[in-house]
Structure 1
Amino acid sequence: MRLFFMGKHGGSHPNEMKERTNGLPIEQATIPKQLIYPMSMHIGAPAEPVVSVGEKVCIGTLLAKAPGMISANVHASVSGTVMAIEKRPTLNGFSDCIIVENDGLDTLSADIKTEAEQITEAALILERIQEAGIVGMGGAAFPTAVKLNPPKGSVIDTLIINGAECEPYSTSDHRVMLEYTEEIIKGIETVSYLFPKLQNVYVAIEDNKKDAIIAVENAGAHLSNLRVVPMKTMYPRGSEKNLIKLLTGREVRPAGLPAEVRCVVMNVSSARASYRAIAFKEPLYERVVSVSGTPVKSPKNLLVRIGTPVESLLKDCGGFIQSPEKLLSGGPMMGRTLSDVQIPVMKAMTAITALNEKESRIGEESDCIRCAECIHVCPVNLQPVLISEAYRRGDLEKARALGAMDCIECGNCSYICPSKIPLLQNIRDAKAAIRTLDEKKKEGA
């Protein structure tokens, strides 16, 4: 993919590659006969099964419960029968999953309401979001109820709704902003009850989505504190700390939280899902996924039941016109390779992207030439090559000191590197190794 860089501005201009899907309305994806629910679709501890093999379930039935605060409930997205609880391939490797055989009846749980309730009590708002298993749907997958409940004593005066969607190919949030605009606005209104000192609500949208900017402006015109902010298109414009800096001028310290600078940030799809959780007690059981890429015959934006195998989405798009060299969950910058088309759609899976051989070609790695381009394009002002080198030397404490844990994994460094050093992967591995090291220290304490 050709990139046009902006020099020392912490960003880049990858080819957007959104034109095949950004004008396509959302379609209902085929609901498969069997669905696979990973216990870990979120940051934090895996959910723990609360159903047994042979048990009948409805849409919205709780399948697995969060064991603690940093976790998320998992719900059935079809009605049917629990067939197995076993390890299956997921984005996180082979991990525990609940398998449900779809009976085709789409029977709703009696807990899901058919008419919207007006909820204004903060404790009940948070309770319903937590019970519904809502997580960051832009890719982060952090439990939303935790994000919306900052530490005691925090004063939140700014709510930022992230509609940037800067990842190439992905158009799922774009379509959500166009087709579920009213629910996003209702989500903003309802979530605002959590923050009595709230002064500003910003909906941040890149300027390559002019129709979404107009739609959200019109739908939110009655809210005096809401401002839609068109942003110059640049990758990774949608990163949380960058948005806060751009919109408020406030800077979140390394390893700090947005609440420390009086901000909360949530994705547009998460805002919509939160509204439905609060008003209808509806769990997060479906999401919009864009399926695109040069090899895909008929790219689409699909409304997909959580747990649907990726293979089913590819069939809905007519398969491939050429064999893909790489298949990604997400886009080419931050996406993760899909090793198996039986991997299920999870809560934070925004896109499925297929790349041909030319698009996925990386080239052979060579020695660093000290050009500093990776430093120039890093949106959080890290030194990616130094973190990578520290990790390769086995010096995890040096990697930590250089800010490895502050990396947002945008992928700019790997794409700009003329030596084709796998900087992003090395930093991801460094972060995982640091977490493992810290866990061992806790166990030995």
Structure 2
Amino acid sequence: MQLKFRFKKNRKGSFPEERKDRTEHLPIETAKVPDVLIFPLGMHIGAPAEAVVDVGDQVKMGTLIGKGKDGISANIISSVSGEVIAISERDTMNGPGTCIVIRNDHKDTKEVPLYEKKETLSADEKLEIIRKAGIVGMGGATFPTAVKASPNPKKPIDTIILNGAECELYSTSDHRLMIEHAEEIIKGARVVQEILKAKRIYIALEDDTPDCEAALEAAIEDHSDIEMIVLPTMYPQGAEKVLIEKITGREVPAGGLPADVRVFLMNVGTSHAIHEAVNHGLPLVERVTTVSGDPVAKAKNLRVRIGTPINALIEECEGFVSPPGKLLHGGPMMGKPLASAEVPVTKGTAAITFLHPEETEREEQTDCIRCSECINVCPVNLQPILISNAYERGDIEESERLGAMDCIECGNCSFICPSKIPLLDNIRGAKAAIKAKNAG
């Protein structure tokens, strides 16, 4: 019998108004596939993939077009059949980057499966399939899954956490995936459990998703070693370090990784992709994405081919009822503003959000009143105002000493600040400066 825990609320978070009502009850729809798709070679954390096709090449749906480099990197797979028409610099969610552009022939001619079907696969073979499939963290982190799931005898994993705590304000892509594909998500977790030889699996949800809870309860009915954790709805409940500490009582050390405390945490979308790859031989060529925001005429949860320009999703949602003021890759709390709707959907695109102009107006900044609210709501126990101050006076070493690199960029500090100090922007600036300093 599965155990189901419920946690009491604590202060290390905030309670911004959620805007999920337009899409949380909408089934996933399959988006139309556009005529031209764009595949950034750097759509994951780590080294960009290396193009293995040339302009003029014909590709199939499932053809390897970008090969992951040694170390931290991931394969890029074509999500359509057609012709490579360009390999050039394009706008991406991370700024300008090299992209492979493919003209879709709309035939969906499929590449051979990732592996030849046989009765059993070893754990090593399953890990290799995950690598070949190009799977990365699909909650937005985009860390290559095959690297993360590679067993390390020095850091054995005993616990797997399935992250279904979808806390970004508009996003319901994970919500719908859990309702419509609960069994497949569990099967994906079992694959990782076999690879890592982990003893237990937890599923983490927030308490405002009883429909997800019901679907997953049914899926784990015969799985005695899987436990469901129901957490209070709070932002950022789904943050990696937050979940690990609440569920296991283990604290990921500063500058450390979940593996340092014997935990493997993955988004439910990642688990679903692992199931599709290992149990059906399908590479990662599509994902579920929520397109929402008040300016959008018909907000939707869409199954989208990777490489689809955001422009095509706007058309899919019947355009706008009012002019948007900002386009976000993600949501208002952690999302990145985009200057162009030609930017494509990538493996980490859980949501595309459009905001009204008045929602994007920055209120006038005033001096810090030393209320300590940014410290109170920081889920990883940093002092955001001190990091921000150090960055503004150019003291990058002090920003680093204060733990800027441990910031999870949740945006709680900026959200809660009564003085409207751009704390998150400053901390992101500090992190970029620290990386540049250390790289030099």
Following superposition, the deviation at residue 134 of structure 1 comes to 0.6
Q: Distance in 2 between matches of 1:308 and 1:18?
A: 23
Alpha-carbon distance in 2 for matches of 1:23, 1:40: 33
Give 1:352's aligned residue. Answer: 352
* Structure 2 equivalent of residue 376 of structure 1: 376
Q: Find the residue that maps to 2:214 and give its secondary structure.
A: helix
Deviation at 1:122, TM superposition (A): 1.9
CA 1:404/1:99 → structure 2, altered by over 3 Å: closer, same or farther? same
Q: Indicate whether 1:263 and 2:268 are aligned.
A: no
1:48 to 47, 50, 56: 50
Q: 1:157 corresponds to which residue?
A: 158
In the alignment, the residues of structure 2 paired with residue 282 and residue 394 of structure 1 have an alpha-carbon distance, to the nearest angstrom, of 49
Tell me whether 104-113 or 280-289 shows the greater mean CA deviation: 104-113
In 1, Cα distance between the equivalents of 2:74 and 2:114? 18
Secondary structure at the aligned position of 1:13 is classed as coil
| 1:232-247 aligned within 5 A | 232-247=232-247
Out of 63, 67, 72, which is 1:61 matched to?
A: 63
The aligned residue for residue 279 of structure 2 is 279
- 1:41-440 correspondence to structure 2 within 5 Å: 41-112=43-114, 119-196=120-197, 198-440=198-440
Deviation of 1:281 after TM superposition, in Å, equals 2.6
Report the identity percentage.
54
Deviation string 1:390-437 (CA, Å, 9 cap, x unpaired) is: 111111111111000000000000111111111111111111111111
Deviation at 1:7, TM superposition (A): 11
Q: Deviations over 1:185-242 (max 9, x none)?
A: 110112110232x222101011111111110111111111101211110000001111
Partner secondary structure for residue 86 of structure 2 = strand
In the alignment, residue 357 of structure 2 is paired with which amino acid? E
> Would the aligned equivalents of 1:400 and 1:434 in 2 still touch at CA under 8 Å?
yes
| CA contact 1:119–1:125 (8 Å) conserved in 2 | no
| Paired letter, 2:291 | V
- Does the Cα contact within 8 Å between 2:151 and 2:195 map onto a contact in 1? no
Gaps of 5+ in 2: 1-7
Q: Confirm or deny: 8 A CA contact 1:120 1:190 kept in the other structure.
A: no
Equivalent position amino acid for 1:421 in 2: I
Q: CA deviation at 1:65?
A: 0.7
Asked if the contact 2:36–2:103 (Cα under 8 Å) also holds between the matched residues in 1, the reply is: yes
Change (3 A) 1:336 1:118: farther
Amino acid at match of 1:32: P
How far apart are residue 439 of structure 1 and its match?
1.1
Q: Find the aligned partners of 1:269 and 1:99 in 2 and give their Cα distance.
A: 25
CA deviation string 1:160-194 (max 9, x = no partner): 00000001000000011011112101101121102
Give the C-alpha shift of residue 280 in structure 1.
Answer: 2.5
Instruction: Give the count of matched residue pairs.
Output: 433
**CA apart distance, 1:120:** 4.7
2 CA distance for matches of 1:260 and 1:420? 36
Rounded to whole Å, the distance in 1 between the matches of 2:278 and 2:113 is 12
Q: Aligned partners of 1:360, 1:228: CA distance in 2, in Å?
A: 37
Q: Secondary structure at the match of 1:131?
A: helix
Contact 2:48 2:69 in 1 (8 A): yes
Shift of 1:360: 2.1
Query: What letter matches 2:348 in structure 1?
Result: A
User: How far apart in 2 are the matches of 1:119 and 1:245?
Assistant: 36
> 1:112 and 1:258 mapped to 2: Cα distance?
29
Question: What is the TM-score when the length of structure 1 is the normalising length?
Answer: 0.95
How far apart in 2 are the matches of 1:55 and 1:361?
Answer: 46
Q: Which amino acid counterpart does residue 311 of structure 1 have in structure 2?
A: N
Q: How big is the shift at 1:116?
A: 7.2
Pairwise CA distance, 1:330:
0.5
Q: TM-score, normalised by structure 2?
A: 0.96
Cα separation, 1, equivalents of 2:96 and 2:89:
6
**In structure 2, distance between residues paired with 1:16 and 1:281:** 37
Distance (whole Å) between structure 1 residues aligned to residue 26 and residue 117 of structure 2: 29
- Structure 1 counterpart of 2:303, one-letter code: L
SS in 2 for 1:347: coil
Supply the distance in 2 between the matched residues of 1:270 and 1:239 (Cα, whole angstroms). Answer: 15
Which of 22, 25, 42 aligns to 1:23? It is: 25
CA contact (8 A) 2:150 2:196 kept: no
Structure 2 CA distance for partners of 1:116 and 1:380, relative to 1, 3 Å: farther
* Structure 1 residues 118 and 350: alpha-carbon distance in aligned structure 2, compared to 1, 3 A threshold: farther
Aligned partners of 1:375 and 1:48: how far apart in 2? 42
Offset of residue 145 of structure 1:
1.1
RMSD across aligned positions (CA): 1.5
SS class of match (1:234): coil
d(CA) in 2 for partners of 1:429, 1:111: 43
Aligned to 1:3: none
Note closer, same or farther for the CA distance 1:119–1:167 as it changes in structure 2 (3 Å cut).
farther
SS at match of 1:160: strand
Note the C-alpha offset of 1:119. Answer: 4.9
- Specify the code of the residue in structure 1 equivalent to 2:150: N
Cα distance between partner residues in 2 of 1:346 and 1:117? 31
| Amino acid in structure 1 at the alignment position of 2:60 | C
Q: One-letter code of the match for 1:167? A: E
Structure 1 residue matching 2:15: 3-state secondary structure: strand
> By how many angstroms is 1:438 displaced?
1.2
- CA contact under 8 A between 1:292 and 1:353: conserved in structure 2? yes
Q: Matched residues in 2 for 1:119 and 1:437: separation? A: 49
How far off is 1:40 after superposition? 0.5
AA partner of residue 189 (structure 1): R
- Aligned-residue offset at 1:343: 0.3
CA distance in structure 1 between the partners assigned to 2:130 and 2:54 by the alignment: 25
Q: How far apart, in 1, do the equivalents of 2:209 and 2:174 lie? A: 10
Distance 2:123 2:399 in 1: 40
Judging changes above 3 Å, is the alpha-carbon distance between structure 1 residues 415 and 267 closer, same or farther for their aligned structure 2 residues? same
